[in-house]
Amino acid sequence: MLVQRRTKGGIFAAALTAVATLVASALPAHAETGVSSSTIKLGITVPLTGAAAPGYNKIPAAMKAYFDYVNANGGVNGRKIQLVVKDDAYSPAQTLSVTNDLILKDKVFALVGTLGTANNEATTRLVNSHGVPRLFVNTGFSGFADMKKYPTTFPLFPSYATEAKAMGKYIADNLAGHKVALIYQDDDFGADALKGFATAGTSFVAKIPYSALSQADPSVVGKWVTSIVSAQADTVIMFGVTSATGALAGGLYKAGLIGKVQMILGSVGSDGTTLKGLLGPLAPALAGSIAASFLPSPSDATDEYVNLFKTVNTQYNPGATFDNNVLVGMNTAMLTVQALRAAGTNPTRASLVKAIEAKGSTWASAAFSPILFSAKSHVGYTGYWFGKLGLDGNAVSVDGPGKYTLYTTDSGSAPVVKTAAARPAMPAKGLPNN
Amino acid sequence: MTIFFNTLLVGFSSGAIYSLMSLALVLVWRSTRVVNFAAAGQAILSTYIGYEAMKVLHNYWLSIPVALLAGALISAGVEAIVMRPLAKRSKGTPVEAIAPVIATLGILGLIRSGVGLIWGNSFLQYTSPLSSKGYTIGHTTIPFSPLNAAIVIGASVVLAIFAMIFRFTRLGLSLRAASFQPEISRLSGIRVDLIRTIGWAFAGAASAVAGALVTPTTYLSPNSLDLLLVSGFVAAVIGGLESLIGAVVGGLVLGIGFAFILQYIGTSVTFSAAFIILIIVLLLRPQGIFGVRRSREA
Amino acid sequence: MKLKSPRARFFISIAIGAVLLFISGRVDELRSYQGAQVAIFAIAISSIVLLTGFSGQISLGHGALMAVGGYSAVLVQSHLNLPYPIAFLIGGAVGGAAGFLLGIAAARLQGPYLAGTTLALAVGIPSLANQFHILGGEQGLTFDIGTAPSWIGKDFSQYRWFFWVSVIAALLNYWLLRNLLSTRYGRRWRAVRANPTAAALAGINVGKAKVLAFTLSSAVAGLAGSLYAMLLGLVAPLAFTLTLSFTLITGAVLAGVSNLGGSIVGAVVLVAIPEISGSITSHLGGSEKVTSNLPGLITSVLLVATVLFAPNGPKWPRRKHQ
């Protein structure tokens, strides 16, 4: 009797469960935060005001322009992308405050392109506890690729260590025997670079650290120049932001060293248009400098990505000059759209993260570097090409216009590999179809 | 030896700019016994106006008097509209000493946000026709260019003019009297309020010149004179707020000290260097190099 | 029990605390974060009230003292593995020690010279972090006090926990300062602020009183800095800019610089302004020029208006012996 009753109860329970499951699976999926039937909301924090703003404050508008273009052509799986932009004035405290707003009040689906190392660090706890995907952060700090510490964060740009190693190889191949000086920021940005140069085995006749943002003081620049002169360096690597590059150019010009000292500029500080704006009539002083980049030159008229982004910029971002910042913004936006498409018709934060890990390495982007996203790695780009700045401030590849040689490596001890640059063809009209 | 000499030159030209700023601060202090933290803000606003003037007139040299006039008017306006009523209302209250400090800080923030609102946050080019390439002596190029020379000459001219006004004119005497003994000055027929406004106007002109001269060496943006705020003030304190000569000496001490610290210790200590210099000076002379020790002042 | 006695104040504080903590369970996370911000700012502003409102000295660099406290707390927790309440107290203690040294210098300096020194301090101290690797450099050091203990209950979000901790600290701070200011120390400071010469003639050791005020004020600022580090989850030079120091002074003035109770008002206004200006711009729709500069504009206008029209703060119920 007991057995019968228990069995009856068991069968009843099983049936109830089965029915419940069927019913539940037929219900519409619970809408994810930031995703509605018609929109997907994304958020970005960037310095719009303050000393660090010049140049970077153009990125959000460029991203928005590309999103508008995609929205006008069907959006992502029928949804339009909305970008909420917040200013953090480069202060990590403010980054956290406005990111609180983005995640808790505006309820964005994901963050994209957030800028600054300390700034991103400040929002890590919030992002991790809410499982918010943080796509393509705008910094070269290699630490963010650590999947255990930052499970939902995807850096994009190659780390500074990678860049330094690539530069070291370029110097060894093309400038052997020269006396090289290095100017770098005295923080993790610079430390990452030093690590890379050490691995590459580059030796310097002078190593000149400086505090970030102090390049505005003429005495600091004066010190750079006297150090260069006293070490008799004929080559100087400037591993700093654009305003520091401008300051160095001005200092070398003042000392009559233009043409006598070869400048090599890191990717962070080599944006031609910004430099032209900073230097004004002195801009030609930079001609002949060697610059490292991973995106094509904004002036390359043969590049299909550049031409498409230029068109989008003219149509959806009127008034903005097309420069490196716009290129960076649109490239990031293009990758974001592909990520959102791959996240499925009912995207969730988890499905977005998984999509990037599974398919991110196959996506189209303007960079000549492969993308390494996988279930085991959150490292994005890994390589650079080297160009010479022309009188117009834009870089042309050292191998000739349109011919890019890529230097790829990692942040660790792997060697630097030189290959002919190749990248996926751009989807038709620059509209992702993944 | 060349490094030493070059460092001296670099320090000298930046010191000249600090001197102009500290001169503006000392002028205000001597005429109204207030430290004008808004000086850097007034300077940037005047510089933007000079920039607009240059766009219209196509001439850098003509834009400087425009900036100067704008600076004088803005400064006079601040004094008349904010500082004067403030002094009357805060007299006798617990906040009498700090109210002006706070008001000028507020005005600084107001001007900075206002400038960003009107002109935007990107940087602009305010170019001077002078070259920033250093003069060549024999085979070497020294880090002193025509642009730097203009800065030094400009600062010297401003100092000379003000020194002469203070020392040799009736206006200068009235300025000095009105700041030390306003009541007695009023009794002797000096229009103290007007005199004070004039003092502020002079200061505004000085800081405008500083902005117009130094901006061509970098770029123009709402934050480009931020460092000058701190440096100018520290320079004024080092020199002692009581004397114009002190303002200049303070500026040069700071500029040259800065350059030497950066050269021989390293550029990592940039932001701490000002503090170090200041502490050293104040430890030895708490009233600044040329300051006068007052007994028992709140 | 008289309403003004320390014992009464103690119970009143407990009551207020209980009410606040009860409310915290009813509001969302964002408000909890902002509530914690208000509590921390209130502590920081009270340090200015103590220094300027009560002993008449001016400091433009209290942001740097917050940095000293914050970094000390973080270092002590990560290297010595001390529990975070001790870390907070040490942050306050080290801040106080720094204030003691500064106070000795300050006692010799008159108004604007002191302002200048503290200004240079505000700029110089945080950038020291770039000099010494142990201080973490530009990207700073992380600080994690962990989540709420399990006996408090489930569903306790991180921000709500921060709110609790900050409010408890703020109430304690207020209670201690309020009591201190009604003792003879408070009277001495008020005498020094009003007229140092007369105070000296009355037998008060002016130098000592000033140094004591500076030390205590810095200790409070150090405590605020430690809590600030808790809230941000990190300390970095860029988190303690000159703007922070100016913000503290703004808050103190908005409150009425000699009004301890007004610290809360000042803190609320400071946290509310970005919120309000954000709403204004989203309703009016503005260009980026407007949205990024509007908060600063509002704060500055408010500051100038307050100091011009209500230098002693808004009409707040004032005690007779202020």
pLDDT of C153: 67
CB-based contact (8 Å) between B65 and chain A? no
pLDDT recorded at residue A310: 94
Q: Test A57 with C288 for CB contact under 8 angstroms.
A: yes
pLDDT < 50: residue spans in chain C: 316-322
Residue B167's contacts (CB-CB under 8 Å, 6 or more residues apart) are: none
CATH number at residue B176: 1.10.3470
User: Which residue type, as a one-letter code, is found at position A116?
Assistant: G
What is the identity of the amino acid at B277? Answer: I
Task: Select the residue from A87, A97, A115, A141 to test the C interface by mutation, using most C Cβ atoms within 10 A.
Answer: A97
Separation in Å, CA of C191 to nearest CA in chain B = 11
Helix B226-239 vs helix B2-32: crossing angle, to nearest 10: 80
Compare CB distances from C238 to A85, A118, A188 and report the shortest one's residue: A118
How many residues can be counted in chain C?
A: 322
Contacts of C293 in chain A (CB under 8 A): 49
The C-alpha atoms of residue A323 and residue A320 are separated, in whole angstroms, by 9
Chain B nearest-CA distance from C218, in A, is: 18
Query: Which helix (H) or strand (E) segment is A407 a member of?
Result: strand A405-408
Please tell me which residue of chain B has the smallest CA distance to C137. B268
**Residue C128, CA distances (Å) to A260, B97, B284 in order:** 35, 31, 24
- The answer to whether residue A51 neighbours chain B at the CB level (below 8 Å) is yes
Interior angle at CA C147, CA C143 and CA C148, nearest 5: 135
Q: Could you say which residues from 256 to 295 on chain B have a Cβ atom under 8 Å away from some Cβ of chain A?
A: 258-259, 262-263, 266-271
With an 8 Å Cβ cutoff, is A319 touching chain B? no
- Tens of pLDDT, residues A314-356: 999 888 888 888 999 999 999 999 999 999 999 999 999 999 9
> Which of chain C's residues have a Cβ under 8 Å away from the Cβ of A185?
138
pLDDT of residue A25: 42
| Number of domains within chain B | 1
Compare CB distances from B29 to C112, C125, C297 and report the shortest one's residue: C112
- The bridge status of strand A180-185 relative to strand A235-239 is parallel
Please state the separation of Cα A248 from the chain's center in Å: 24
Phi-psi region of A349 (alpha: psi -120 to 50; beta: other; left: phi over 0): alpha
Chain B residues in contact with A230 by the CB 8 A cut-off are: 3
- Give the count of beta carbons closer than 10 Å to the beta carbon of residue B35: 26
pLDDT in tens, chain B (298 residues): 777 887 888 888 888 888 888 988 988 888 778 888 899 899 999 999 999 998 898 888 888 899 999 999 999 999 999 998 888 887 776 667 778 888 898 899 899 889 988 988 777 888 888 877 778 777 777 778 888 888 888 888 887 888 888 788 888 888 777 767 777 777 777 778 888 898 899 999 989 988 888 888 777 888 778 778 888 888 888 888 888 888 889 999 988 988 888 777 776 667 677 777 887 888 787 777 777 765 434 3
Q: Do C288 and A48 touch (CB under 8 A)?
A: yes
Q: What is the 3-state secondary structure (H, E, C) of B68-112?
A: HHHHHHHHHHHHHHHHHHHHHHHCCCCCCCCHHHHHHHHHHHHHH
Please answer yes or no on whether C238 and A129 come within 8 Å at the CB atom. no
B298 found inside a domain: no
B285: left (phi over 0), alpha (psi -120 to 50) or beta: beta
Q: Which of C29, C233, C241 has the CB atom closest to A91's CB atom?
A: C241
* B297 part of a folded domain: no
Give how far C277 is from chain A: nearest CA, Å. 13
Q: How far is B122 from chain A (nearest CA, A)?
A: 5
Sequence spans of domains, chain C: 10-241
Amino acid at B124: L
In a domain, B290, yes or no: no
C234: closest chain A residue by CA: A122
Residues of A in contact with C128 (CB under 8 A): none
Angle, alpha carbons C190-C102-B90 (nearest 5°): 35
| Distance of residue B135 Cα from the nearest chain C Cα, in angstroms | 34
C97 burial level (CB within 10 Å; 0-12, 13-18, 19+) = middle
Phi, psi angles (nearest 5°) of residue A234: -110, -5
Concatenate the DSSP letters of all residues of B7-45 into one string.
HHHHHHHHHHHHHHHHHHHHHHHHHHS---TTHHHHHHH
Inter-chain touch A87–C233, beta carbons under 8 Å: no
Q: Residue B135 domain-assigned?
A: no
CB-based burial label for A9 (10 Å; 0-12, 13-18, 19+): exposed
Residues A53-76 have a mean pLDDT of 91
Domain that holds residue B22: 2-129+140-284
C-alpha span between A249 and B218 (Å, rounded): 11
Mutate to test the interface with A, among C155, C232, C244 (most CBs of A within 10 A): C232
Measure the CA–CA gap between A105 and A96, rounded to whole angstroms: 13
